[in-house]
Structure 1
């Protein structure tokens, strides 16, 4: 066999540059990121911090929409602007300095206000993977969020005022295949071994092995043999209770060889088996949350416009109902264990081969559906990835930001309910909403000119919002006084923190890996408290 071609210098350099993140989301996640295009509206300190953390990992392109001119306030809060930038367009100056961080990223600027773009060229936003906006007026928030909701483009609204930070993610429907759960359940099928696995397990007799081989048996075999022995006196049932699992552990203990003094010999593989009993003995089942996905209307009533996720869900359902016999495809991933290389490789190949066979069946079903619907093809690699992670699929069904501004909706009731809790962070949400309303009415931030004089005006805005959500007035005006004291200023450390958080969420959305926040995140820098709300 010919030796594989060495990697090109460009590939090696790229892998070295992105090494840490490749460990998080893999080559395919990096490719998705490099194909992504982010639109940022308003390159203030928060917006620039967001882009910084998206440019560094190598997003494909960024476009900044900003018609503002750089001021002294911008230079004071934004590390990506220079004194020479004063009086120049903020988008141009920001993109020039940001792109120095990563020459692989393409950058564009638009000097028109978002309201004008919405009116004259609404299709402009259709080309982006995610639209991120900061420092928008109340009217623009409503108009832009509704437009992006209608054209199904993910939208992240961000705010940073004084010690307060907030972001709100708006997605209509966001399926996640690779959720990366912290504790992924092993899928060993010891309760229903497939033919190749059953043959392997049955060909090993623990009692006839010599001492050396006895200490190298994979712990999967040890647990299986212990369960078999337990089932002989328990009507062939599967051990479920803690007592029954402890009985299996006792049987494993009895398998351990002893020396001439009747002292158990220390065999690491048997110790591993004892530790793995609780996880390895979980029976194979179809999780309820996955069942709900597979039998949802989107998966059972496909159309030409159905996204690949729902097509694969439909194919997976038919597999489970037929070849899978009520079970999901095998993951094909083997945990680490103390054993010989020959044992491990053979066992690993058994699981991988079976997983590949089952994924191939699902792929053929996907091809059949695609052919019937005459829609875009779905690659075999995507189907294999889908099958590999089918145990942990997740779907986020979001809500429109516009609903938060409407009276008599469940969202209004949700806000009012959370305002009743002591020391609730929802108070900060109301204050930030009120600051937007104040800016729309007075064309400036509360406290920007006269902090004391604006307190009563901001209180009026707060009262209006509380009335809209049918909530009682705040017992104290402390938060209102504090918001006026901020004067609409950005504190860079707060913007940097929120900016990093938003960048992470944007990357999750683009790569479709990890679960993004659903849907509102609030940060109080004074107390370092955070909270999430789902409107």
Structure 2
């Protein structure tokens, strides 16, 4: 057999560079990231920190839209600007220094006002994976969020003013196949073993095993045999209660052999079987949240424009109703266990082969749907990944940012309800919104010129927002005074923290792995408190 060709030096270097993140989202996640294109509107300190944390892991391309020139304030808060940058275009200067972090990333700078682009060339935003905006006025926020909502393009609005920071994620819906749950449940099918697995179980008789082999059989076999013995006197039921599972543990104890002096031999595989009783004896079932997805209207009423996620959900439903007999495709992943290499590899191959068979069936169903709809093809790799994680599929339905600015909307009642709580972080949301309104009306940040005289003006903005959500004015003006004292300045440590968080969320959206924040995150750097809200 010909020897395998060694990996190219370039691949090895790439693996070394991205080693830690590859452990998080894998090769396919990295590929998705490298195919991504981020648009940032305004290269403020916050915006630049966002891009820094996206450029380092290897985003494919970034585009900065910024018509502003570098000021002294920018140099003081933005670590990616130099004193020699003063007077030059802020987007071009930050882009030049950002690209030095990773030469594999492509960069573009657009020196036009974003509102002008939105009005004269709205198709400009269609090519991006995610659009991120910072330091936007209220009108642009409403117009841009509505346009991107209609375009079905993810949008992240982020703010950093003084010790306050926030971001708001907007999308219509976001499907996650790889949610990476902290405690992923094993899928062993001990209650409904498939043919290959039951044949393997039947080939092993614990009582006839030689002593040298007794400690080398996988605990899955021990557990299955114990349940079989228990079922002979319990009408073939499946043990569910604590009492019944304790009876299974007693049977496993009986399987443990003793030495010539009658002392039980300490065998790790039998101890593992006892420990696994409570977690591995869960009956196989179709999770409710997955059932809701595969029987949703989006998975049943498919069209040529349907997201591949819904096409795969439809194929999954067909599998569950036919070949799966009410169950999802097998995951095909075996937990670590004490066993001989021969036993473990054989058992591992049994699970993998069955998982491959199940995924192949689902893939054929996907191909049939794609052929009927005459839509873009879905690769076998995508379907296998979908089947592997079918137990933990997740869908988030988003909401439009523009709704937050409409009087009498459900969002207004949500805000009002949360403002009733003492020391609630929602107060900071109101203040950040009021600062945007102030900026739209006066073309500058509150307190940027005359902090004292701007207090009354900012208070009027706060009162307008509170009136829209049917809330009484704040009992104290402390927060308003503090916002004016900030003068619209960005504190780099706050921008760096929020920027890192925004970058993480953007990566989640692009790779479609891990659950993103839904939908608003607020950070108070003075108290280091944070909160999330779902409007």
TM-score normalised by length of structure 2: 0.99
* SS of equivalent residue, structure 1 residue 39: strand
Superposed counterparts of 1:193-204, under 5 Å = 193-204=193-204
CA distance in structure 2 between the partners assigned to 1:211 and 1:108 by the alignment: 69
CA distance in structure 1 between the partners assigned to 2:257 and 2:485 by the alignment: 75
* SS of equivalent residue, structure 2 residue 530: strand
**Which residue of the partner structure matches residue 6 of structure 1?**
6
Superposed counterparts of 1:186-225, under 5 Å = 186-225=186-225
In the alignment, is residue 144 of structure 1 matched against residue 147 of structure 2?
A: no
Superposed counterparts of 1:161-176, under 5 Å = 161-176=161-176
In the alignment, is residue 302 of structure 1 matched against residue 294 of structure 2?
A: no
Superposed displacement of residue 472, structure 1: 1.8
CA distance in structure 1 between the partners assigned to 2:418 and 2:244 by the alignment: 45
Superposed counterparts of 1:117-516, under 5 Å = 117-516=117-516
* SS of equivalent residue, structure 2 residue 132: strand
* SS of equivalent residue, structure 1 residue 158: strand
CA distance in structure 1 between the partners assigned to 2:31 and 2:481 by the alignment: 48
Encode CA deviations 1:412-465: one digit per residue, 9 max, x unaligned.
111111111121111110010011111111111111112122111111111111
Encode CA deviations 1:387-436: one digit per residue, 9 max, x unaligned.
00000001111000000000111111111111111211111100100111
CA distance in structure 1 between the partners assigned to 2:528 and 2:87 by the alignment: 35
Encode CA deviations 1:246-303: one digit per residue, 9 max, x unaligned.
1111111121112233322111111111111111111100000000000111000000
CA distance in structure 1 between the partners assigned to 2:530 and 2:2 by the alignment: 56
CA distance in structure 2 between the partners assigned to 1:358 and 1:337 by the alignment: 25
Superposed displacement of residue 4, structure 1: 0.9
* SS of equivalent residue, structure 1 residue 337: coil
**Which residue of the partner structure matches residue 46 of structure 1?**
46
CA distance in structure 2 between the partners assigned to 1:403 and 1:221 by the alignment: 57
CA distance in structure 2 between the partners assigned to 1:169 and 1:120 by the alignment: 25
Encode CA deviations 1:80-132: one digit per residue, 9 max, x unaligned.
00000000000110000000000000000000011000110000000000000
CA distance in structure 2 between the partners assigned to 1:412 and 1:255 by the alignment: 64
Aligned residues: 535
CA distance in structure 2 between the partners assigned to 1:22 and 1:415 by the alignment: 39
CA distance in structure 2 between the partners assigned to 1:483 and 1:157 by the alignment: 19
* SS of equivalent residue, structure 1 residue 30: helix
CA distance in structure 1 between the partners assigned to 2:369 and 2:113 by the alignment: 44
CA distance in structure 1 between the partners assigned to 2:26 and 2:452 by the alignment: 53
RMSD, aligned α-carbons: 0.7
* SS of equivalent residue, structure 1 residue 63: strand
Superposed displacement of residue 70, structure 1: 0.1
Deviates most, 369-378 or 208-217:
208-217
CA distance in structure 1 between the partners assigned to 2:106 and 2:161 by the alignment: 30
**Which residue of the partner structure matches residue 25 of structure 1?**
25
* SS of equivalent residue, structure 2 residue 80: coil
Deviates most, 471-480 or 133-142:
471-480
Superposed counterparts of 1:89-128, under 5 Å = 89-128=89-128
CA distance in structure 2 between the partners assigned to 1:347 and 1:168 by the alignment: 47
CA distance in structure 2 between the partners assigned to 1:524 and 1:222 by the alignment: 54
Superposed displacement of residue 234, structure 1: 1.1
**Which residue of the partner structure matches residue 88 of structure 1?**
88
Superposed displacement of residue 476, structure 1: 1.6
Superposed displacement of residue 307, structure 1: 1.1
CA distance in structure 2 between the partners assigned to 1:364 and 1:446 by the alignment: 60
Deviates most, 43-52 or 201-210:
201-210
In the alignment, is residue 518 of structure 1 matched against residue 518 of structure 2?
A: yes
* SS of equivalent residue, structure 1 residue 336: coil
**Which residue of the partner structure matches residue 56 of structure 1?**
56
**Which residue of the partner structure matches residue 73 of structure 1?**
73
* SS of equivalent residue, structure 1 residue 284: coil
CA distance in structure 1 between the partners assigned to 2:42 and 2:306 by the alignment: 34
CA distance in structure 1 between the partners assigned to 2:259 and 2:267 by the alignment: 12
TM-score normalised by length of structure 1: 0.99
CA distance in structure 1 between the partners assigned to 2:477 and 2:241 by the alignment: 56
CA distance in structure 2 between the partners assigned to 1:109 and 1:16 by the alignment: 30
